[in-house]
Amino acid sequence: MNPNTILYEQTVPLNISIKTRYKTNVTIEILVDNLFIEEWNDFYSYDKYYHSCQPSFCSYEIQQRRNSISILTEIIGIYSGLTIIIRFLIPNLVRLIRRRQRHVQVTTTFDRLNILFQLCKTKLLELNLFRNRSTDYHTVRKQLISTRSYLITFILILSLCILYTSLTNKLITVKFQFKDLKQYEQLYNKYPNTLTCSCNELSIKYEEFIQLTPIYHEICSSDFVQQEWIDYLSVKANINDRNFQATGSFQFQSVRSLCRLIEETVDFSLTQLYSTIFVSNQLISRDLFQNRIDNTVDLFIKSTEQRFKHIFQTIRELFHGSAVLTTHQTNWEYDILLNKLNEYVY
């Protein structure tokens, strides 16, 4: 039996039962635009990323009620500051008001307070925190008013400070030594907004935790791009024929070249991706890690497709500009014409 006949009978057609995202009548143009790729098998490991990050210490913040010692400490600090400020402010304020009273006889708040305090016990009325050696009636009266204003202002401000201090929570930062990934995820579920873990390795290559594998269309691994099939069509071809058998070998060679060029382009892009540095000074959560990797993979696929389209378009323009002629005259035609004298014109 003729070897070519045997080869023809042994050639396996494309398997129509294989799941594919392309239609059965898909064109080469569509396949090229999608890099002959059926799908991408992507694998990325958060565990490997965690071990590459090598976190050792973490911290998180919690809100805690202030204890009595903390409140007492803050009150003492507030008291010291208020004593200095009010002792300086009240006497000067009273002095200014009394000067104005000499010109305008109007009943003021200090006068009403003075009447109110006159009803209190004598000892309280005679309390004078600003006493000096002066026995002048107006001076002593001014000192008494300053004392009462000081006490009222001090008690009011101190009460507000105590109320605010007792009601507000204190933010506490807890630092601890890291153990394993399980501990991190437990704490992250409990403190998702405040938990931070510093990485010992700030820059990590993608190849350490991600793996991408393209699944190409069946045509790129079929018998139709093998040299035996191309040679079989070449034997049957005639350079002057205009049928598929004459040009088929060149068309399948083109498909094989496209498949190889695409595979080389994808392999080169993957090499670049794996050598790219993933930079992060903090250990990120599993969800954020997955989102970042998904975005990176999507961007990688789109950029690889655009890169090949640019290369392919450059090759087409180069051949078109060079006016390359095919052997089987598929892009040109040689005509022989007769003129009026029945002479051949080429």
7-39 pLDDT tens trace: 556 667 777 778 888 888 888 889 998 999 999
Buried b (16+ CB within 10 A) or exposed e, 153-164: bbeebeeebeee
Highest mean pLDDT among 52-56, 88-92, 141-145, 288-292: 288-292
222/229 Cα distance (integer angstroms): 10
Q: Tell me what pLDDT residue 59 has.
A: 83
Region of poorest pLDDT, from 59-68, 158-167, 173-182, 233-242: 233-242
Confidence bin at 222 (pLDDT 50/70/90): confident
The counts of H helices and E strands in the chain are 11, 9
Residue 273 has pLDDT above 70, yes or no: yes
Q: Tell me what pLDDT residue 105 has.
A: 46
The CA-CA-CA angle for residues 330, 331, 337, to 5°, reads 90
179/25 Cα distance (integer angstroms): 57
Q: Tell me what pLDDT residue 323 has.
A: 72
154/131 Cα distance (integer angstroms): 18
| Top-confidence residue, 211 or 70 | 211
251/25 Cα distance (integer angstroms): 16
Confidence bin at 106 (pLDDT 50/70/90): very low
275/205 Cα distance (integer angstroms): 6
Q: Which residues pair with 37 in a beta bridge?
A: 216
Q: Which helix (H) or strand (E) holds 210?
A: strand 210-216
Sign of the Cα torsion 214, 218, 220, 221 reads: positive
The fraction of the chain above a pLDDT of 70, given in percent, is 61
**Which two structure tokens, joined as six digits, stand for 298?**
């999507």
Region of poorest pLDDT, from 41-55, 108-122, 223-237, 305-319: 108-122
327/244 Cα distance (integer angstroms): 14
Counting every residue written for the chain, the total comes to 346
73/61 Cα distance (integer angstroms): 22
Long-range contacts of the stretch 236-243 (C-beta < 8 A, 24+): 236/4, 239/327, 239/328, 241/328, 242/328
Domain boundaries, the chain: 3-55+217-324, 67-167
Pairing of strands 277-279, 203-205: antiparallel
Nearest residue to 283 via CA among 115, 54, 114, 113: 54
251/207 Cα distance (integer angstroms): 37
